[in-house]
Copies of this chain bind each other. A is one copy, B any other.
Amino acid sequence: MRIGLLGTGNVARALAAGWARAGHGIVLGSRRPDDPELRAELKELLATGVRLESSASAAADAEVLVNATPGGASVALLTSIGATALAGKVLLDVAVGFQEDITLTHPVVSLGEEIQQAFPDTPVVKTLCTIDRELMVDPGSLEGPSTVFLSGDHADAKRSVRTLLTDLGWPEESVLDLGGIVTSRGQEHYALLFVGIAEAIGSYGFGIRVVPPRR
């Protein structure tokens, strides 16, 4: 699959490496694709065949476009690419507008909903935002199975994203479909509990597992 990744931070890098290993064609999109410092930082990744281009170019080429930009900046960046250029592409949104003072940039309606509303011709799927970047691409690193969530209004898009999760090593039975894009609220707001748990156990490399009732 041709995957465009908006963002060149730690999350984008981890996902790019993970999906490149699975055989996908990856283009990272940046506002400064020619910056020599950024190219030097990404040297290893680019050596594996991952490309670094402008955000618009990464989007143009992609079947699935991943939003791994800071949550507070995502809508502006997507708007600069434009609704026409984004139409028909699956937008896999992993962003959360988490701020240093333990608040969210989207404290009521979620970023996932806001993006879906701004780009109605682009099916948005929220996922992977409840776990740290290293775990995203290495779910077997935990002492037991954990859960990853899906939110989105479009069944076909969610099917594509499920496949991409499997490619990262997530077993089918670990993926829980929460429902429509409105359920992004739950995934995004969990960021506040995530940081509390991380602080308490001294690691970001944990998951949560939904433990069902005994039958």
Contacts and interface: CB of A to CB of B under 8 A. Distances in A.
A115 to B, nearest CB: 17
A203 B193 contact: no
Nearest to A139: B211
A96 to B, nearest CB: 12
A127 B210 CA distance: 18
A197 B211 contact: no
Contacts of A87: none
Interface in A177-215: 177-179, 182-183, 185-187, 189-190, 192-197, 199-201, 203, 205-215
Contacts of A205: 212-213
Contacts of A187: 193, 196
A206 B211 contact: yes
Given A102-B182, A149-B196, A185-B102, A213 B206 contact: yes
A107 interface: yes
Given A143-B214, A211-B142, A213-B205, A192 B186 contact: yes
A199 B208 CA distance: 18
Nearest to A145: B211
A146 interface: yes
13 contacts: A142-B211, A143-B212, A143-B214, A143-B215, A144-B211, A149-B196, A176-B200, A176-B201, A179-B200, A183-B199, A186-B193, A186-B194, A205-B212
